[in-house]
Structure 1
Amino acid sequence: MKIDLLALKWICSESCPISAYKIEQDTAVKRASIVRYRSGESNLEKMPINNATKLSNYALKKMGEYKMIVNIDFKSENKSYNTTIEFEHLNDDNTQHVGGREVATAMVDIFSGNDIDKDMVSNYESYYTENDIQDADHIKAWFLDQIKYEYQEPEITDITIE
């Protein structure tokens, strides 16, 4: 039995786009249990091995089907900026081996306003790992690391994950 911890965390996170009802239908793991893991009421480390295996395997299959859209607003030197980044969970189609780790590539386009044609101030491709996108805190840390050389003392003012 193999359990992928990142996949398990994803399927048991509140940001997972798959409903607890659908997961229960597809895996036979009780919806109430999934809800308790998502709310933090139950600890993932104490999950029965059979449930962890089912959920991990299910999550690995589903992760490649979902894209995560992250909207980030930030400030630097009293100027406001925003970006929308599309992340895919790593899978055989989008993964490269770079620097001894499995990564995927995201386009990061940064704007200073709403006019896409006039307000783009920077854009680049950036590598990310599955660990970088596991939750909002990791995404914030990843993003700040990506922009640290171009923007002075950036501060994220809002982040939303779709």
Structure 2
Amino acid sequence: MADGPLARLDERLSRSLVDRVPRWLSELGADLGNMTVALPVLACAMAYAAWRGRRVAALYAGLGMVLVPLLVIPLKEWTARPGPLEPWAAGYYPSGHTATAMVAYFGAAFLISNRLIPVAALLTAATGTGLILRGYHWPLDVLASVALCVPLLRWPIISTRSHKRHQI
């Protein structure tokens, strides 16, 4: 994670990718993982789901978002991996922005319509790609967040399937 052959490969890959696109574009992608962008999307989807009588699903989606910092922050502290642009700073592994984007956008998609899942995937991929191309995170930081957040999406998926069975 912070040292070794895989970390060195990750760092070489990152150096070859940083600033390959205009900074405004990579910054735009990275910003999709900000709490000020992703959280209102999830909150609106939760309100819509609650209004439609899917309060449990909305609760589970919100719980997933609450768990993001509870999982990410201790891992950042434990690994203390330095960042691409700030090698003196630590706490880059895993990416909190990627985790926030994934849980918020996929949670919103599961609450509103499964047809939005490709949009959630695109927004999450744009966030992770923007973070890497801008140099804010190493590629493994982003991949670790995706792997970490898959279990957090289990509850909204299960509650969505359960709700659809009750409608039939």
| Bigger radius of gyration among the two | 1
Which structure has more relative contact order (CA 8 Å, sep 6+)? It is 2
Flag the structure with higher helix content.
Answer: 2
Flag the structure with higher strand content.
Answer: 1
Superposed pair shares fold, TM > 0.5:
no
Q: How high is the TM-score relative to the length of structure 1?
A: 0.25
